[in-house]
Amino acid sequence: MINPIEGRLADLDERLFMPRELSWLSFNARVLQEAADESVPVIQRLRYLGIFSSNLDEFFRVRVAEVRRLITVSTGGKRQRAKELLETIQERVSALQKEFDRTQVRVLAELRKRHIYIIDETELSKQQMAYVESYFTQAVLPALEPILLSDEVAIPALADESLYLAVDMTTPEGSRYAVMEVPSDALGRFVAIPRGRDKQGKVFILLDDVIRACLPKVFRGVFTVEAASAYCFKFSRDAELEIETTINESLIEKMASSLKQRRKADAVRFVYDATMPETLLEHLRKRLGFGRYDSLIPGGRYHNSKDYIGFPNAGPKYLEFKPMQPVRIRELDQTDNIFDALKLKDYLLYYPYHPFDYVVDILKTAAIDPAVTAIKVCLYRVAKNSQIVDALINAQYNGKRVRVVVELAARFDEQANIAWSERLTEAGIEVIFGIPGLKVHSKLFVIDRMEAGSVVRYAHIGTGNLNEKTARLYTDFTLLTADSEICEDVHQVFEFLKYNYRRPDYKHLLVSPHTSRNGLTRLIDDEIANARQGFRAQLFLKCNNLVDRQLTLKLYEASQAGVEIKLIIRGMCSLLPGVSGISENINAISIVDRYL
């Protein structure tokens, strides 16, 4: 079996594989193309800029951090290849950032044409300044917690991906430095202000510029500020969690401890205002412990452009996408009990073109249906105010046996999932955390129902999270079925997750890590055999990412045998299509549009 590190280094062979990091950057470039597309409503274009920025933040926390670890653990030529990859990444990111800046200028200009303005503190009229000062005193100042920089006092661990202002002050006693977090999570990044006599429409100012406009007031009563300037900065830390193997802690305790360690993880990017004085930058670098120069990236005046995702539509409705009405399914709408409809046939739902309501409905119905005896479900990411969780708790209160598999290691949702597991446990629900060393990514549930004296099962098999919010944003599939063999397979998955010393024999499902690879290989081999015998041989694969080395090599083998292969890969794709003698029979596309 190939060592994971060796396999990852082998993936850097650009003759056969596109490095996954470069492929991911190509995906984010496609998101940026949506922001540049003039046929897209202008508010949505601004939000695509926010999505691009948010994606890039995660890219540094996950992908760039992994490449840095590769450099650390490898030697010789392998280390050199990883270093060259990191250099290429930095070049591509720099090019994308320049394109982002150009696109942002065009989008903001389009907003101004529609009388929506984002101004800074230097453009405020007297009336607007009075409003900003009042807002600052009432809302912003109570939320600020400035930290004075000195050699005597250690700086606490600053929050990863939060926006900070580094303040350079002149006082009668000399220069002073301070750092403060911009409280955009609590107050929002965009502050609506009076438009002034010379403007129509809506005017906004960024929260960081509100603070800049009132900077001396932050330190009033502490010392006199003769002059002050503030410069934005942020940093990204390695998001990899190290789970300790101590046996005297529960998994929740281990995860909580790992999350605390993440706050102190190595920085993979420190982005700052390029106009920041060198003395202040050097002071920050030393105080925050940034030792690697290539982690320091000069940028513009503003950071955390991901906040554009939440920019309000301050103009006509046509400035954003027209709401789409999902296609209703008559049989599911007209039935008195959704289980009656599922007895007759299976339903394949495609979100967001079909409503997610049907999935919520089946769980709500199960919670109060006297015939339902048990519900088992996997939760990976759920909505903030989850109707799914509410339905499961209601089912427990109504006497059902409810078992929930919560994946504590869902990246960036770890803290939320700890809270969900505690809430479910408090309700009396059986909560399990899967199998050590494996991430439970399944989107499954199975419902046991007594019918004519026997247990009849109903199952959900999906590609997307049981999350009513993201089901409106991403395309995903759900199969709702009462097929007894498929439902038994789903039931066996849950049995394995609880009693993992028993390995089930699945009839229909391909389940990682047991049967997925062999099952997919067998299906591809069938098409290879068809091609070699002169029969029609075709393969269609749609997935989120394709970066598995062995599967990619198998697809190359199929292409060389004459199998026609069509791929729809949303994000990362290590496979190189259309290469003579290797993959000329493979056509790969990525669909990035309104629904990501």
Mean pLDDT in residue range 73-97: 87
Q: What does the pLDDT read at residue 557? A: 96
Encode pLDDT of 56-81 as tens digits. 988 988 888 888 888 888 788 888 88
Question: DSSP state, 159?
Answer: P
Q: What does the pLDDT read at residue 264? A: 56
Mean pLDDT in residue range 37-51: 96
Q: What does the pLDDT read at residue 14? A: 66
Encode pLDDT of 495-534 as tens digits. 999 998 788 899 999 999 889 999 999 999 999 999 999 9
Q: Which of 514, 548, 515 is nearest to 435 (CA)?
A: 514
Q: What does the pLDDT read at residue 262? A: 43
Q: What does the pLDDT read at residue 252? A: 56
State the catalytic residue, choosing from 441, 491, 508, 514.
Answer: 441
Question: DSSP state, 594?
Answer: S
Q: What does the pLDDT read at residue 2? A: 43
Q: Which of 143, 147, 135 is nearest to 180 (CA)?
A: 147
Q: What does the pLDDT read at residue 259? A: 46
Q: Which of the residue ranges 38-42, 113-117, 134-138, 244-248 would you say has the lowest mean pLDDT?
A: 244-248
Q: What is the b/e burial string over 461-486, where b = at least 16 CB atoms within 10 angstroms of the residue's CB?
A: bbbbbbbbebbeebbbebebbbbeeb
Q: Residue 76: which H helix or E strand, with range?
A: helix 76-113
Write the secondary structure of 357-372 as one string of H (helix), E (strand) and C (coil): HHHHHHHHHHHHCCCE
User: Radius of gyration of the chain from Cα atoms?
Assistant: 27
Q: Would you say how long the chain is, in residues?
A: 596
**Percent of the chain at pLDDT exceeding 70:** 91
* pLDDT confidence bin for 112, thresholds 50/70/90: very high
DSSP 315-353: S-GGGSPPPPPPPP-HHHHH-SSHHHHHHH--EEEEETT
Question: DSSP state, 143?
Answer: G
* pLDDT confidence bin for 246, thresholds 50/70/90: very low
Q: Which runs of E-coded beta strand occur in 55-94?
A: none
Distances (CA, A) of 348 to 54, 354, 355, 363, 441: 31, 9, 12, 17, 20
Residue 361 pLDDT > 80, yes or no?
yes
Encode pLDDT of 533-569 as tens digits. 999 999 999 999 999 999 999 999 999 999 999 999 9
In the numeric block, the tokens 């996997």 are attached to 378
Q: Which of the residue ranges 127-131, 432-436, 555-559 would you say has the lowest mean pLDDT?
A: 432-436
Residue 247 pLDDT > 70, yes or no?
no
Please indicate whether residue 69 or residue 155 has the higher confidence score (pLDDT): 69
For the record, the structure tokens of 515 come out as: 């049967």
Encode pLDDT of 176-203 as tens digits. 899 999 999 999 999 999 987 766 789 9
What is the pLDDT of the chain when averaged over all its residues? 89
* pLDDT confidence bin for 249, thresholds 50/70/90: low
Q: Is 441 a catalytic residue?
A: yes
The Cα 554–Cα 316 span in angstroms is 52
The Cα 304–Cα 161 span in angstroms is 8
> Domains of the chain, with CATH numbers?
4-111 (1.20.58.310), 118-307 (3.30.1840.10), 330-498 (3.30.870.10), 516-589 (3.30.870.10)
Q: What does the pLDDT read at residue 13? A: 64
Q: What does the pLDDT read at residue 257? A: 55
Mean pLDDT in residue range 361-366: 97
* pLDDT confidence bin for 265, thresholds 50/70/90: low
Assign 183 to helix, strand or coil: coil
Q: What does the pLDDT read at residue 486? A: 98
CB 479 within 8 A of CB 397: no
Q: Which of 306, 311, 60 is nearest to 190 (CA)?
A: 311
The gap between the terminal CA atoms of the chain, to the nearest Å, is 35
Encode pLDDT of 299-350 as tens digits. 889 999 999 999 988 888 899 999 999 999 999 999 999 999 999 999 999 9
Q: What angle do CA 399, 400, 406 make, to 5 degrees?
A: 125
Encode pLDDT of 457-476 as tens digits. 999 999 999 999 999 999 99
Mean pLDDT in residue range 349-355: 96
Q: Which of the residue ranges 222-231, 365-374, 420-429, 472-481 would you say has the lowest mean pLDDT?
A: 222-231
Helix axes 76-113, 20-36, angle to 10 degrees: 10
Please indicate whether residue 294 or residue 386 has the higher confidence score (pLDDT): 386
Distances (CA, A) of 216 to 129, 137, 177, 219, 276: 15, 12, 13, 6, 18
Question: DSSP state, 518?
Answer: H
Residue 244 pLDDT > 60, yes or no?
no
Mean pLDDT in residue range 159-172: 88
Residue 293 pLDDT > 50, yes or no?
no
DSSP 221-236: TT---SEEEEEEEEEE
Q: What does the pLDDT read at residue 253? A: 55
* pLDDT confidence bin for 4, thresholds 50/70/90: very low
Q: Which of the residue ranges 205-214, 275-284, 374-383, 411-420 would you say has the lowest mean pLDDT?
A: 411-420
